[in-house]
Amino acid sequence: MASAAINGAAIDGWDSFHAASKAAFGFPQAYSNTMDAWVDCLSYLRDADGMSKFRLKPNEVLEIVIDNAAALREKAPELLEEVTYCVAGINERYADYGEKPALALVLR
């Protein structure tokens, strides 16, 4: 299983979240540091679109691991809630295209 890790203790807001995401997922230089861009980059992981360093096989899942999730929840609960919501939405998008979910969010 492919995996990308983000250190929740190092996240104190949206800017640090997007910087950590860009590094963890290999988002392109043009990544615009918005949740819309985050969703777009993670919505085509099984395509060769170059929006991430990951290219998943048809049934493969990318595990998004947020280490120190309790620290993130304490500092930015709305951010963690938005990430959870977006992961679910991205997986729904995959299901709409007849594919298996591509993301698993793991809070440690």
Q: Hey, where are the domains in the chain?
A: 2-107
SS3 82: helix
Inform me whether the pLDDT recorded for 1 exceeds 90: no
- pTM exceeds 0.75, yes or no: yes
pLDDT value, residue 16: 97
Question: Among 65, 68, 73, which residue's Cα sits nearest to residue 10?
Answer: 68
Q: What is the pLDDT of residues 59-93, one digit of tens each?
A: 999 999 999 999 999 999 999 999 999 999 999 99
Q: Which residue type does 65 have?
A: V
Give CATH for domain 2-107.
3.30.370.10
pLDDT value, residue 62: 98
Cβ atoms of residues 86 and 38 within 8 Å: yes
Q: What six digits make up the tokens of 90?
A: 């991205």
Measured CA distances, 50 to 10, 42, 45, 75, 96 (Å): 27, 11, 9, 32, 22
Inform me whether the pLDDT recorded for 29 exceeds 90: yes
